[in-house]
């Protein structure tokens, strides 16, 4: 069983304080039909809880004031489009995923620029703020999940982007890009491989 809090699916394989809040909020008859279901109880990857707690505390008081990381939203948009802008207009690109979306600002910029459906994934509660802030935009979707167990079927996205959280991405369509400090470079390859550098690990999905 996975909780949904304020429209945010929490698709983690282990319980968090948000799971407890969900049970408290919906205690009683609401959950009676689901009494036979339980939250998953797997162990998170090493260091994952620490990362979750650190970034959650950092952004819960953010109020979308037009400045983030000492840069204006316009500056962020300029950098984002410089890094990956051409990819957003490639033929057939209609589903975008940002891994490590935080407050969802770049996820929003992807939709704003191209009009495509954009999904943001993050481990911290910053994504809960993003979900609430952009809740009236039907083209923006957010999920709290781990990069080690992403809850998406193969070939769910045409374009995957990440900055800081991950370093390299490769998807089956060939529309995979990674940022190397100077700009984006397209990657090619077969299958639905996504190569991530995250928390010191390199994984292939």
DSSP string, 68-91: ETTEEHHHHHHHHHHHHHHHHTST
Q: How far is CA 200 from CA 1, 52, 197, in A?
A: 30, 15, 6
34 secondary structure, DSSP code = G
SS3 201: strand
Q: What is the value of pTM for the model shown? A: 0.80
SS3 28: coil
Q: What local confidence, expressed as pLDDT, does residue 184 receive?
A: 40
The DSSP bridge partners found for residue 58 are none
Domains and CATH numbers, the chain: 4-46 (no CATH), 67-204 (3.40.50.150)
Rounded Cα gap, residues 160 and 197, in angstroms = 14
Rounded Cα gap, residues 155 and 6, in angstroms = 28
Phi-psi region of 184 (alpha: psi -120 to 50; beta: other; left: phi over 0): beta
| Helix/strand number for the chain, H first, E second | 5, 12
Q: Do residues 102 and 126 lie in contact, with contact meaning Cβ atoms separated by under 8 Å?
A: yes
In tens digits, the chain (205 residues) has pLDDT values of 899 999 999 999 999 999 999 999 988 888 888 888 999 999 988 888 888 888 777 788 888 999 987 899 999 999 888 888 788 888 888 888 898 899 999 999 999 999 999 999 999 999 999 999 999 999 999 999 988 888 888 778 888 888 766 443 333 333 344 444 444 444 434 333 333 333 233 333 3
Q: What is the CA radius of gyration of the chain?
A: 17
Rounded Cα gap, residues 45 and 40, in angstroms = 14
Question: Which 3-state string (H, E, C) describes 148-160?
Answer: HHCCCCCCCCCEE
Rounded Cα gap, residues 57 and 45, in angstroms = 20
What tokens does 48 get?
A: 């994952």
SS3 7: coil
């Amino acid at each position: 069983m996975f909780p949904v809090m304020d429209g945010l699916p929490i698709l983690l394989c282990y319980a968090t304080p948000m799971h407890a809040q969900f049970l408290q909020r919906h205690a009683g008859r609401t959950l009676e039909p689901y009494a036979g279901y339980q939250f998953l109880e797997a162990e998170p990857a090493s260091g994952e809880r620490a990362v979750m707690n650190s970034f959650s505390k950092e952004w819960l008081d953010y109020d979308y004031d037009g400045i983030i990381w000492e840069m204006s939203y316009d500056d962020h948009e300029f950098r984002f489009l410089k890094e990956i802008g051409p990819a957003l207009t490639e033929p057939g690109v209609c589903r975008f995923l940002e891994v490590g979306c935080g407050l969802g600002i770049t996820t929003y910029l992807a939709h704003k620029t191209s009009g495509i459906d954009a999904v943001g994934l993050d481990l911290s509660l910053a994504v809960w703020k993003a979900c609430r802030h952009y809740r009236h935009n039907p083209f923006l979707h957010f999920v709290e999940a781990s990069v080690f167990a992403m809850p998406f079927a193969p070939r769910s996205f045409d374009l995957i982007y990440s900055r800081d959280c991950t370093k390299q991405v490769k998807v089956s369509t060939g529309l995979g890009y990674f940022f190397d400090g100077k700009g984006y470079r397209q990657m090619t390859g077969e299958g639905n491989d996504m190569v991530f550098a995250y928390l010191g690990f390199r994984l292939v999905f």
